[in-house]
Structure 1
Amino acid sequence: MSVHSPLPSPLVLPLPAALDTRSFFKLHWTCFKVLGIIAPTSNAYYFGYSVLLHLLVTFCYPLHLAMALFSNTNASANIQNLAVCVTCVACSMKFIIYATKMERLRELEAIMAALDERVNSSRERRYLAQLRKEIRHIIVGFLSIYTLVGVTAELRFIFRNEHNLLYPAWFPFDWRASDLKFYAAHLYQIVGISFQLLQNFVNDCFPTMTLVLLSAHIKLLGIRVSQIGYANRSLDENEEELFRCIKDQEQLYNMLNVIQNIISLPMFLQFTVTAFNICLAMAALFFFVDAPFDRLYYFTYFLSMPLQIFPTCYYGTDFQLLFEKLHIEMYSSNWVEQTQKFRKHMILFCERSLKQHTAMAGGIVRIHLDTFVSTCKGAYSLLAVIMKMNE
């Protein structure tokens, strides 16, 4: 995997931190650097770190799990190995896709910077202050999910009576031969799953963040439009403001297209894996595990799967509804006292807002709450098949 050098920042006017929505991605860019795809400086050490990390974690970690699939006599171990293997394979695939989209991420930031420059009223600034808290809660939520999964997985290892790996897997040496080999295998698994969890955090949190910010900028445009005609401005100035709002509307549609280009395939993989893993976690809880810490792990795993996609589906529905309400915000403006040219532009703005816009995963399914419900139903249907086979 190639290492991307930082691209030049878009030429935009500097904004106060409170108005720079690009700053919400600061943690993600830090994670990308730690995960070896954004070089802080062009140097051989970082390149070597990146190659080694992707070889040992992105590629070899799912491989060493896949080579041990269904090789255990214990059904619980096979279920666990299958669940974590599918998750890690999907995680690596999604991360590789995001690694190839770095230029599109910069393009997205450039659009957000242009929209940030349009924020001027106190009402818009107050909304952005509330948004910062909402973003913080989303990030903490995702971090909590992956931390709990990692901790409960390690607890299963600590409280086992016999020497067993964190996850059933293949190694090119006999890890049972000595304590040194056993702890070397465990160290690889715990370090590898930590990096995989960090990759998963970026993979799953990023789509939610982009859709949150899309919804935020749609909301800001609605606020901006609804205030036209009430300030002490001339009719010509109101016409110019509406024209700028129409340009903002075009930018938002462009922003949606860029977001969809980035997250479409990763979200399709996520929906598929989520349905499969919810089913496996429920099957393990009902039929295959008895130990308390095993049950705790699978219960946490079961809860984490739908929580990974729910925020993205929620905001995928939210931005669609906000787009559809833009014409209502337009009619909240003082359009009655404006010029005929203003009203013609107003009709153009309203007609555009009536067209339905939605994000698609893989060009097949909508990133929408309906898809979240369908994914959960699909997981239950798979469980019903397993229950029938178990009988």
Structure 2
Amino acid sequence: MAMEGQSKLDTHSALYYHWRVWELTGLMCPAGVSRFGYLVYSIVINSVVTVLFPLSLLARLLFTTNMAGMCENLTITITDIVANLKFVNVFLVREQLYEIRSLLKVMDSRARRVGDPEELSALRREVDIAQGSFRTFARIFVFGTTLSCIRGFLRPERELLYPAWFGIDWMHSTTNYVIIYIYQLFGLVVQAIQNCASDSYPPAFLCLLTGHMRALELRVRRIGYLPDNFKEDYDSWREEVYEELVECIRDLMRVYRLREIIQRVLSVACMAQFACSAAVQCTVAMHFLYMADDNDLTAMIISIVFFTAVTLEVFVICYFGDRMRTQSEALCDAFYACNWVDQLPKFKRDLLFTLARTQRPSLIYAGYYIALSLETFEQVIRFTYSAFTLLLRAK
């Protein structure tokens, strides 16, 4: 059973759902599929949805003349445009995504060779958390999409799923209305799938990094302790312990390489999320304080959903970033905790260099500037509260 569990270890499966979405939406060509045919498919679906859908929202925003409609449309438009920018960023960093997959195979192979049940359990737990975060985001997007459809059905007058401009008369033409409604429904579903993957892959990557740090921490803490049934030559055993330290240092370099690649992948996406969160929170606050229509309950609910969603997205990436930082500190402590006292001078020398390298906790930065930590989320909440209070006093 233990060997079976080792052979099944694949931490890249934390991104299983994301990879399937990226294949479905034209970013990653699946194995066995014609590259030319997939290129045509990718161009068509992204031209029709990724480009045209936000352009129709933006055009409607430009033609909006009343402040209430502008606040509502602006919330939707900002969210959708930023979501598409994050989706485009996935395309731009796809080479790094392939590099991460290759690196994870090497790190998984090392974990299987060590075969420690606690290490394997820690890695599988992070995979489960990453997949669970995708499913949580999926439920949120399903709820938001369903609410938009219900709102369209309940309106007494003819109305689109989302306020958009198409340049044709759909109010007085049933055929035009049905065509546009079907297009919006299709575009909304595709955009929801894209956004679900774009919003949940940052915590998935942070889970992977945390899991491999945890596995290495457990590995390092065992270094240098004599087994109960020790019968070998003491000097030979110390040489073996030194080789074990060297292997762990190589593992540490792989972890740092993984962190470096993840930093490049997440920097733009997380910065865009922070900017989107601030813009949407201020817009929703304006909508509530000045322009909210008490008779349009569904519009208010949708605004609350958008506000909650963008705030939750920032909290999730900050929480998992803070969790990864805490694990990096535990990894540093593990090098202190190994039994270095009885080891060779070269062991102690290499350990000192390694400790100097691990003193600074690892962090992922949005835009290479804003740390993903709970302290950052606290600052975001304080900014939101201050802006809301200012608007309330000015009313």
Q: TM-score, normalising length from structure 2?
A: 0.89
Letter paired with 2:257? N
- Structure 1: distance between partners of 2:7 and 2:314: 29
Displacement of 1:355 in angstroms is 2.1
Contact 1:221 1:245 survives alignment (8 Å): yes
Letter paired with 1:152? L
Find the counterpart in structure 1 of residue 270 from structure 2. 267
Find the counterpart in structure 1 of residue 130 from structure 2. 135
Displacement of 1:286 in angstroms is 4.3
Contact 1:365 1:371 survives alignment (8 Å): yes
Find the counterpart in structure 2 of residue 86 from structure 1. 78
Structure 1 stretches of 5 or more lacking a match? 1-13
Bigger relative contact order, structure 1 or 2 (CA pairs below 8 A, ≥6 apart) = 2
Letter paired with 2:78? V
Displacement of 1:33 in angstroms is 0.9
The reply to whether residue 258 of structure 1 matches residue 253 of structure 2 is no
Displacement of 1:215 in angstroms is 0.9
Q: TM-score, normalising length from structure 1?
A: 0.90
Structure 1 residues 306 and 211: alpha-carbon distance in aligned structure 2, compared to 1, 3 A threshold: same
Q: Deviations over 1:60-102 (max 9, x none)?
A: 1111111111533553322221111111111111111111211
Structure 2 stretches of 5 or more lacking a match? none
Contact 1:235 1:338 survives alignment (8 Å): yes
Q: 2:280 aligns with which of 277, 280, 284?
A: 277
Judge which range, 268-277 or 298-307, deviates more. Answer: 298-307
- Structure 1: distance between partners of 2:62 and 2:384: 21
The reply to whether residue 306 of structure 1 matches residue 311 of structure 2 is yes
Contact 1:214 1:255 survives alignment (8 Å): yes
Q: 1:193 aligns with which of 188, 192, 210?
A: 188
Contact 1:148 1:300 survives alignment (8 Å): no
Contact 1:32 1:38 survives alignment (8 Å): yes
- Structure 2: distance between partners of 1:382 and 1:165: 32
- The SS at the match of 2:341 is helix
Structure 1 residues 204 and 223: alpha-carbon distance in aligned structure 2, compared to 1, 3 A threshold: same
- The SS at the match of 1:175 is coil
- Number of aligned residue pairs: 377
Find the counterpart in structure 2 of residue 217 from structure 1. 212
Displacement of 1:386 in angstroms is 4.3
Displacement of 1:265 in angstroms is 0.9
**What percentage of aligned pairs have identical amino acids?**
28
Displacement of 1:182 in angstroms is 1.3
Q: 1:49 aligns with which of 41, 63, 66?
A: 41
Judge which range, 356-365 or 376-385, deviates more. Answer: 376-385
Displacement of 1:130 in angstroms is 2.6
Q: 1:359 aligns with which of 341, 352, 364?
A: 364
Displacement of 1:284 in angstroms is 2.9
Displacement of 1:223 in angstroms is 0.3
Find the counterpart in structure 2 of residue 292 from structure 1. 297
Residues 310-349 of structure 1 mapped to structure 2, 5 A cutoff: 310-349=315-354
- Structure 2: distance between partners of 1:179 and 1:17: 58
Contact 1:326 1:350 survives alignment (8 Å): no
Displacement of 1:205 in angstroms is 0.8
Moved over 6 A (4+): none
Find the counterpart in structure 2 of residue 39 from structure 1. 29
Letter paired with 1:182? Y
Find the counterpart in structure 2 of residue 147 from structure 1. 142
Letter paired with 2:349? K
